[in-house]
Amino acid sequence: MPRGARDPLPSGDEARLLTRYEDVRRALSDPRLSREGATGSDAARITDDDSDIFNSPMACTLNAVGHERWRRMLSRWFTAKRVQALRPAMERTADRLLDEMPDHGHPADLVSHLAFPLPVFVICAMLGVPEADRDSFKGWSDTFPSMAKYSRDEVTTAHREFEEYMAALVADKRAAVSAGKAAEGEEDLLSLLITATDAEGRPLSGEALTATGQALLLAGHETTAGFITVMAAHLLSDRRRRQRLLDDRSLARQAVEEMLRFDPSGGFGMIRYVHEDVELGGTVAPRGTTVVCSMSAANRDEDAFDRAAELDVTRSPNPHLAFGAGPHSCLGQALARTEMQAVLDVLLRRLPTLELAVNGAELRQVDGLLTSPPAALPVRW
């Protein structure tokens, strides 16, 4: 593909497609391009549909807070150290989910019984959602991205119910904090954010806290579930790879990074709007251009990665772009990495009792592992 090829969008408009590692990294980090800019401008539109997530009330609330301010207030709760403290609970949850799997019949589906619920439970634990409400969270999260599985009305209803739930949870937490009750070991993100202030001493409003809870589930669930699925598929479908990791468990971190790099199902890519003429992919992109940054393609660029088409669990360094780059790079990347490492550890520990119930090639062809995470991963033990 030529650098900066034209890319037709679902709306019929055209965008500039970037596929080279260096072009994608630079575009995502360049302040002359930003995520904002579609509304009211001449920029190409992604779809004809106004209901996309970046124009939702949740996104508008967060935009009003100011991206930099919001990100600075949140980022102190997403450090590697804080996230590492959640790891034992992640491993316990993964173990419990695998223990419960036989109750669901034989063979069991690793997606619905591990990859899908685990990241929801982790986000719930982080936000301080009571145990009893976690299945509702799972249900809402299942509905959000499912254009094919649910009707537009069902998706809208799920968004409304979820927003109402989050607003009530924030109000409960605020009451607990005011009454001094949150002190009993309640270290959840919402309780902490209620009392947090920015550099000017301003706290986040109730609406902003509600929108934050929504944004974290939307940004952090499907992505992590998809990558856990792909990782488990890569692990269970190749005996030599599995043996390599069993022989040297210290490779787990590198293996996770490589699965993140290697996955070709990064979707459409990240959208950016050009606000000032800028050279991109060898030509000038005039102001108003819509750019699609394909991280999946960039992660397979031979100029950036030796043997880029090969999954090498020992690859190091591995500066992949699965979490994006620049000011919007993934806020939850330490959480996602730790979750994947915890699951990999648990899977390796339990491997003697776990194997794919379909062969790897079949899985790839039937479920499209090459283009998107498999919808199901049948396993037996």
Binding site for ligand HEM (CB under 6 A): 35, 71, 123, 215-216, 219-220, 223-224, 227, 270, 322-324, 328-332, 335-336
Token digits for 125?
A: 């634990």
- Asked whether the bond before 107 is cis by omega within 30 degrees of 0, the reply is yes
Nearest distance from residue 181's CB to ligand HEM, in Å? Answer: 26
Torsional sign, CA 62, 65, 67, 70: negative
Q: What is the CA radius of gyration of the chain?
A: 21
d(CA 199, CA 23): 34
Nearest distance from residue 130's CB to ligand HEM, in Å? Answer: 18
31 to 87, 250, 318, 325: CA distances (angstroms):
35, 38, 25, 12
Buried b (16+ CB within 10 A) or exposed e, 339-371: bbbbbbbbbbbebeebebbbeeeebbeebebee
Nearest distance from residue 357's CB to ligand HEM, in Å? Answer: 25
CA 30 centroid distance within chain: 22
3-state SS assignment for residue 271 = strand
Nearest distance from residue 226's CB to ligand HEM, in Å? Answer: 7
236 versus 270: smaller Cβ distance to ligand HEM: 270
3-state SS assignment for residue 255 = helix
308 versus 330: smaller Cβ distance to ligand HEM: 330
Nearest distance from residue 233's CB to ligand HEM, in Å? Answer: 15
268 versus 323: smaller Cβ distance to ligand HEM: 323
3-state SS assignment for residue 307 = coil
229 versus 358: smaller Cβ distance to ligand HEM: 229
- The residue with its CB nearest to ligand HEM is 332
328 versus 364: smaller Cβ distance to ligand HEM: 328
212 versus 237: smaller Cβ distance to ligand HEM: 212
Nearest distance from residue 217's CB to ligand HEM, in Å? Answer: 7
